[in-house]
Amino acid sequence: MLRAALSSLALLALVAPAFAEPARYTLDPTHTQVGWSIDRFGFTKMTGRFDEASGVVMLDPENPANSSVTAEINVGSVDSGYDERDEHLRAERWLNAAAHPTMRFQSSSVTLTGENTATVVGDLSFRGVTQPVTLNVTLNKLGPSPMGGAPTAGFTATGVLSRSAFGLTIAPGAIGDEVAIHIEALAVGEAPAQN
């Protein structure tokens, strides 16, 4: 019986790492950029970004499908490079940042598409509407930060969403419906303990 118990413990020791919990990484707001672009009259793409984003990535390198991300964007931090236009974008007719100050993304699935790429599907909630969004994500690098040694992950994510799906139907003949998303995200884990 003792031999059987010891064998079971040894088996558990071997199997336990396979069931390790994903590691928690926090988005670094100073090194995370959420960019967007949209067609304007067919002449140009208007580009901009949101300057304030936060979130958590639960990263499981051994089983990426077990990873997840939750992120929030301060809608009022929209920046198109032109103050007067930004005021229009924040106003009720467009983003309505006063009534809906936060945009939230919660992933529901991660599917590997390559060695360092995945499709991340989730729900984007904005203006009282929740719609599914698909992001194509590349893990650029995973390793210790050169500044302090904390485990760090860098991602690039792209996707497209329909503004009308979130009730943004103003100026359909002038401004396009598809909004291209480009995200550069840096996520940082807990720094190793100092001896």
Q: Give dist(CA 173, CA 177) in Å, integer.
A: 9
pTM, 2 dp: 0.86
pLDDT tens over the chain, length 195 residues: 334 333 333 333 434 444 568 999 999 999 999 999 999 999 999 999 999 999 999 999 899 999 999 999 999 999 999 999 999 999 999 999 999 999 999 999 999 999 999 999 999 999 999 999 999 999 999 999 998 899 999 999 999 999 999 999 999 999 999 999 999 999 999 866 565
Residue-by-residue DSSP string for 130-188: EEEEEEEEEEEEEEE-TTT--EEEEEEEEEEEESGGGT--S-TTTEEEEEEEEEEEEEE
Looking at this protein, which amino acid is placed at residue 49?
A: R
Q: Is the dihedral of CA 135, 141, 143, 147 positive or negative?
A: negative
Pick the CATH number of 22-188 from 2.40.10.340, 2.60.40.10, 3.40.50.620, 2.40.128.110: 2.40.128.110
Q: Mind spelling out the 3-state secondary structure of 76-111?
A: HHEECCCHHHHHHHHCCCCCCCCCCCEEEEEEEEEE
Q: Which two tokens stand for residue 94?
A: 């467009």
Residue 82 has phi, psi (to 5 degrees) of: -145, 110
Q: Which two tokens stand for residue 92?
A: 């009720």
Q: Enumerate the domain spans of the chain.
A: 22-188
Residue 83 has phi, psi (to 5 degrees) of: -55, -45
Q: Which two tokens stand for residue 45?
A: 């793409």
Q: Give dist(CA 46, CA 161) in Å, integer.
A: 15
Q: Give dist(CA 40, CA 28) in Å, integer.
A: 32
